Structure 1
Amino acid sequence: MSQRRQQPPAEIDGGRESLRADCGNCFGLCCVALPFAASADFAIDKDAGRPCPNLREDFGCGIHSRLRQKGFTGCTAYDCFGAGQKVSQITFGGRDWRQAPDTARLMFDVFPIVRHLHELLWYLTEALTLDAARPVHGRIRRVLDATEALTRRDPEALKEVDVMAQRQEANTVLLRTSELVRATVRRKAKDRRGADLIGADLKGVDFRGANLRGACLIAADLTGADLRQADLIGADLRDAVLAGADLGESIFLTQQQVNAAKGDLATKLPPALTRPAHWTA
């Protein structure tokens, strides 16, 4: 039985749109503020606060269409949940760090904080679309509104936000949402929260209603697996094979998780997510 509304309220759809990355309205913050190390995901080392050498003057990426070929697969997986444009256009009022270098340090400090808060907003917004979670929709809305209010603080106040405390508050209602949704599956699913499933052969496994929170599924083979009503919050899906898998009604799945995995045209995704361009046919 589907747990998603066919047509979520307009306010939810609108809220979800603001949680999608809009690189055209961002000052390349993920390309500057965040550090990365030479690895399978990144071709070079880069310190936090130092612009990536591929960042252009207009804040676009000079190798955007060739990131994977150039060794920057991590860039194709990353998702800021709309924090980039929020910090660029709202928190700092459209003043970029090149024209106003005095804002740079604070902007780079604030960006990851807003990104964490926007990730929570993504989960909370999704929870409001789930029919099974109706009993806690009021609580979800209150936590969502409080989290959104934090993202609209001025830069100095944002820097002092206790992200962990807000995560704990959100997690209370998200856990309850997960329980309500997974209870709709009429079978006893094994609790695999935090399970080490690296490289596991999970082809065709029935994970309906499973708790896979924080599970490590790096390079696991989930070909044809059924993940409907499975809680995937925080699950590591890097290089996981999702060919033909059904994630159409998985809960708390993010674009970043999908981007990091390997799927195909037969992979079913929740309607709020987009099939990555690098997935094979």
Structure 2
Amino acid sequence: MPHNVQGPGTERDELRADCANCSGLCCVALTLTRSADFAVDKEAGQPCRNLQEDFRCGIHTELRTRGFPGCTVYDCFGAGQKVSREIFAGRDWRGDRETARQMFQVFPVVRQLHELLWYLTETLSLAPAKPLYGEARRLLDETERLSRLPADASAELDVAAHRETVAELLHQVSARVRATAPRPKNGKKRDRRGADLIGARLRGADLRGADLRGAYLIAADLSGADLRLADLIGADFRDADVSGADLTDSLFLTQAQLNAARGDAATRLPSALRRPAHWDR
């Protein structure tokens, strides 16, 4: 039986990046380190060499082939447009140095808060978590309020403390939802939180209800695996093969995680997420 229900909190359109209404903040505010993900080093506050005058990426359709796959997996959860259009009312970082300094401080803060909003909104769609809806709604409203603070107050916000409070609730939500998963026939433990599963061979594995929070699944073979009701918050899916895997009803999965993985047309996804374009290539 599906554990996602329709109702308040299921709409997450405002938590999706809208680059057309952002002043290219992720291309300026963040630090890039030359690696397999980025072809160049770039300090925070320095515009990426590929950023155009209209704030669009000059190599958007070629990022993977030009050495910038890390850009294709980044997700601001809609923080970019909120900072650009709401908090700074359409002003951009090119106007003056002080505006730029504030925007670059505020953007990472709002991005973290929007990620929490994504998880809290999902919580309000999970039937087994119904006893926790009240607290989830309270935290969602508070997180939304914090995400709209003026620039000076936002820059001073203790985001880590707020994340801890939300994390405790999400842990309770996870436990309630995962408890409804069938018990594994092989008797193997479901708690793989933070586990090193780099390159693991998990083809066709029954991972229903597993706690994979923060697990390292880099280059793991998850093809055909059943990940329904598995807690995937913070799991590292870079280059993981999820071809044919079932990710419907998985918990706290994000678009960035999917974008980092390799899948195909047979991969089953939660309704709130989109199949990455590069999976079809």
For normalisation by structure 1, the TM-score amounts to 0.96
Does the residue aligned with 2:83 lie in a helix, a strand or coil? Answer: helix
> Are 1:135 and 2:120 an aligned pair?
no
* In 2, Cα distance between equivalents of 1:218 and 1:99: 41
Does the residue aligned with 1:12 lie in a helix, a strand or coil? Answer: coil
> Are 1:84 and 2:91 an aligned pair?
no
Identify which of 50, 53, 58 aligns with 1:57. Answer: 53
CA displacement 1:150-198 (0-9 Å, x = unmatched)? 0111000000111111111101111111011001113155210010000
* In 2, Cα distance between equivalents of 1:209 and 1:69: 36
State the AA in 1 paired with 2:9.
Answer: I
Seq. identity, %: 62
Q: Which residue of 2 aligns with 1:105?
A: 101
Shift of 1:12: 2.4
Q: Which residue of 1 aligns with 2:216?
A: 216
Q: Which residue of 2 aligns with 1:227?
A: 227
Mapping for residues 143-182 of structure 1, pairs under 5 Å? 143-182=139-178
Shift of 1:13: 4.1
RMSD: 1.1
* In 2, Cα distance between equivalents of 1:242 and 1:107: 37
* In 2, Cα distance between equivalents of 1:126 and 1:141: 11
* In 2, Cα distance between equivalents of 1:41 and 1:186: 38
Q: Which runs of 5 or more structure 2 residues have no equivalent in the other structure?
A: none
- Would you identify which runs of 4 or more consecutive aligned residues in structure 1 move more than 2 Å? 11-14, 99-102
State the AA in 1 paired with 2:258.
Answer: V
CA displacement 1:251-274 (0-9 Å, x = unmatched)? 100000000000000001100000
* In 2, Cα distance between equivalents of 1:67 and 1:223: 25
- Contact 2:182–2:208 under 8 Å retained in 1: no
State the AA in 2 paired with 1:229.
Answer: L
Identify which of 33, 39, 47 aligns with 2:35. Answer: 39
State the AA in 1 paired with 2:179.
Answer: A
Shifted more, 41-50 versus 186-195: the winner is 186-195
* In 1, Cα distance between equivalents of 2:221 and 2:63: 25
State the AA in 1 paired with 2:45.
Answer: G
* In 1, Cα distance between equivalents of 2:111 and 2:192: 27
Q: Which runs of 5 or more structure 1 residues have no equivalent in the other structure?
A: none
Shift of 1:2: 1.1
Q: Which residue of 2 aligns with 1:202?
A: 202
CA displacement 1:223-255 (0-9 Å, x = unmatched)? 100000000001000000000000011010000
Shifted more, 180-189 versus 237-246: the winner is 180-189
Shift of 1:29: 0.2
State the AA in 2 paired with 1:54.
Answer: N
State the AA in 2 paired with 1:78.
Answer: Y
For normalisation by structure 2, the TM-score amounts to 0.96
